[in-house]
Amino acid sequence: MYTTRRNFIKQSIGAGAMILGSAFVSRSQGVLKEKVLDKKLGIALIGLGYYSTEILAPALQETKNVYLAGIVSGAMDNEQYWLEKYNIPRRNVYNYENFDSIADNKDIDIIYVVLPNSMHKEYTIRAARAGKHVLCEKPMAVYAADCEEMIKACKDNNVRLSIGYRMQFEPHTQEVMRYGREKVFGDIKYVTASAGFINQSPKTHWKLQKAYGGGVLMDMGVYSIQGARYTIGEEPVSVTAQQYKTDPERYSEVDEIVTMQLTFPGGAIANLMTSFNVSTNMLYAAAERGWFDMNPFSSYRGIKLRTNNGPVELADINQQARQMDEVAWCIVNNLPMRVPGEEGLRDLKVVEAARKALASGKKENII
């Protein structure tokens, strides 16, 4: 059984840096406290591509509640690099064949699934069956039904599940969520968001292949969907969608550019765009009594927020480190996850309806 102690953390620049209302960082007697476990949980990364190599592993050098305990290494991965750089003991290195025997390894508490989208389901379920908690990258899976299976597998095996959306841990994003929740500017009436980058990967990359759950809607579109959902604070009920290809040969299997219009129960509309053809990352909201925007809104660092009253400057944190620390805290203390599997499922339901709308050319209900 894990116990907790409380450490003071330095206040970042500006009072706004304090993340209030968080399950993880709380204010007690006027002093900001960060919840730190007595003993770090061990995390194993499966899928050692760019995100694990350049983002997660470095973030795990900053975490207080988790540490990089192991890896699951494939034929194409540079196992030696990981062993040396992060002092990972050989006993904590698995491959795709012996992965299930990770069940016997007491060093590993959490498996972080960073594989291509089509593999999220299988490895989340196998990790759950091995008795390990799961952090699974976004988008949660290729189909909503997959998400439901993953949620069930974790429940059945009594392990916790969280999806690797980072924005919910980011201070400016939390402030935007507060605007919607507390109606600081009145009801949100309109959101537009765009998320894209210039994809220069070879056509053989999994993000350009249908079999791996590739395509821009899955890769970047989910950020704009998430953005609309957390800004408006409601679940969308219908979607229309359009797609465009500037290079139909390259994007023969998957979508290159998609626009989507979501409607919400309260009458709000979200007009979204996602692209493999341009670098863009912005979210704008118009409300009854004002507006606000974030540019960028879903980048790893440097989120910028302004409202019609001026800029809002909060702390620029390591989102991945914050997320992994809070996930560990919630596991140990049996607290609700900030981004549970159900959150990934909701996005997939929108994605599925959007796919249907792309095919039918019609407005489709989100079930």
Q: Which residues make up the interface to a second copy (CB under 8 A)?
A: 189-190, 192, 194, 196, 240, 242, 244, 246, 257, 259, 261, 263, 267, 269, 271-273, 275, 277-280, 282, 284, 286-288, 291, 293, 295, 361-363
Alpha-carbon gap, residue 344 to 281, rounded angstroms? 20
Using the 8-state DSSP alphabet, how is residue 14 labeled? S
Distances (CA, A) of 351 to 121, 168, 254: 16, 20, 14
Least Å from the CB of residue 190 to a second copy? 5
* CB nearer a second copy, residue 164 or residue 227: 227
Which residues are within 8 A (CB) of 194 and not within 5 positions of it... i.e. 6 or more apart? 224, 272, 273, 274, 275, 280, 281, 282
Least Å from the CB of residue 289 to a second copy? 9
* CB nearer a second copy, residue 36 or residue 184: 184
Alpha-carbon gap, residue 70 to 110, rounded angstroms? 10
* CB nearer a second copy, residue 134 or residue 273: 273
* CB nearer a second copy, residue 52 or residue 298: 298
Alpha-carbon gap, residue 286 to 231, rounded angstroms? 10
* CB nearer a second copy, residue 77 or residue 187: 187
Least Å from the CB of residue 170 to a second copy? 20
Local structure of 260: helix, strand or coil: strand
168 phi and psi angles, rounded to 5 deg: -65, -15
* CB nearer a second copy, residue 311 or residue 336: 311
Q: Which of 309, 304, 302, 303 minimizes the C-alpha distance to 287?
A: 309
* CB nearer a second copy, residue 99 or residue 244: 244
Least Å from the CB of residue 250 to a second copy? 13
* CB nearer a second copy, residue 30 or residue 302: 302
Least Å from the CB of residue 290 to a second copy? 9
Least Å from the CB of residue 362 to a second copy? 6
Least Å from the CB of residue 115 to a second copy? 30
- Other residues' Cβ atoms within 10 Å of the Cβ of residue 112: 28
Least Å from the CB of residue 301 to a second copy? 15
Q: Strand pairing partners for 241?
A: 260
Least Å from the CB of residue 173 to a second copy? 19
Q: Which of 306, 120, 127 minimizes the C-alpha distance to 213?
A: 120
Alpha-carbon gap, residue 306 to 291, rounded angstroms? 9
Alpha-carbon gap, residue 232 to 119, rounded angstroms? 31
Q: Which pair of structure tokens corresponds to residue 251?
A: 């994007």
Number of helices followed by number of strands (H, E) in the chain? 10, 18
- Other residues' Cβ atoms within 10 Å of the Cβ of residue 128: 24
| Helix-strand-coil split of the chain, %, nearest 5 | 35, 25, 40
* CB nearer a second copy, residue 36 or residue 269: 269
